[in-house]
Amino acid sequence: MIGEPQQLDLAPWIKRFPGEPGTATIVFPHAGGAAAAYRNFARALTAHGVDTFIMQYPQRGERLAEPPAESVTDLARDMLDAVDWAGLGPVRLFGHCMGALVGFEFARLAEQRGVGVRELWASASQAPATVAGSSPVPTTDSGLLADIVDLGGTDASLLDDEDFLELLLPAVRSDYQAFNRYTCGREVRVAADIHAVGGRSDHRVEPDLLRAWECHTDGAFTLTMFDGGHFYVDDHLDEVAELVSCT
């Protein structure tokens, strides 16, 4: 049975799915992703007793009118400033794709402030130190559309909807620009354990890029692979939720 969740003054752009006290897990969406895309995952986590918080980045949902963040670190700082996370005990972080980089920067900043972070689940994401040496992601409309199609995970019929694209493309562009500006040295580490997770058929984030996360932790490191592509989580909601909740 889920106990009474701690009462928090949350901004409307933070979506909470209450679970057991002491299990706070913060979910950071992928580039261009809205909080709504992670509702099913949050429900799966809650079924395992996890107190789940999904973050919403600027340029979408309730934050549509807000200016984009200049950097991945700015996004992380925004998320850290939003709640008294220290009052929830050591937290878990789960970030998908660019969200894992946001989670890493969140962990780094949190440690500087004395906020406990137990572990970071880096899902379908290249390690921070590999970003600067990789090719920049596109930011033109045509390039963004091609990249979205290549990654999968978006209903193809929606990509023919001009109103949907009018909302989607600015959000993706702002996140991609933040990603392109990101740099991090191999020497930058966090105390939290890092667990890399990916899809065996993900042609964008291969196992070597996931393994590179190991250099960024002073704690434990694990690598877990599931069948599927870049958005493998959608096909393994309960299995991933169980994995995250059992540590």
Label residue 151 by pLDDT band (50, 70, 90).
confident
CATH number at residue 25: 3.40.50.1820
pLDDT of residue 161: 73
Convert 46-83 to b/e letters by CB count within 10 Å (16 or more is b): bbbebbbbbbbbbbbbebeeeebbeebbbbbbbbbebb
Structural domain contains residue 181: yes
Structural domain contains residue 1: no
71 close to 51: Cβ distance less than 8 angstroms:
no
pLDDT of residue 157: 67
Distance CA 242, CA 32 (A): 26
pLDDT of residue 3: 53
Number of domains in the chain: 1
Structural domain contains residue 102: yes
- Phi and psi torsions of 42, nearest 5°: -60, -40
Burial class, 187, CB count within 10 angstroms (exposed 0-12 / middle 13-18 / buried 19+): exposed
More confident of the two residues 148 and 175: 175
Label residue 156 by pLDDT band (50, 70, 90).
low
pLDDT of residue 1: 42
Pinpoint the alpha helices (H) of 56-97. 72-81
Structural domain contains residue 7: no
Region for residue 153 given its phi and psi (left: phi exceeds 0; alpha: psi -120 to 50; beta: otherwise): left
pLDDT at 4 over 70: no
Q: What would the mean pLDDT of 160-179 be, rounded to a whole number?
A: 89
pLDDT at 15 over 70: yes
pLDDT at 100 over 50: yes
pLDDT at 68 over 70: yes
Q: What is the mean pLDDT of the chain?
A: 93
pTM, rounded to two decimals: 0.94
Structural domain contains residue 2: no
> Which residues form the domain of 99?
15-245
Helix (H, G, I), strand (E, B) or coil at 120: strand
Distance CA 146, CA 80 (A): 33
pLDDT of residue 22: 92
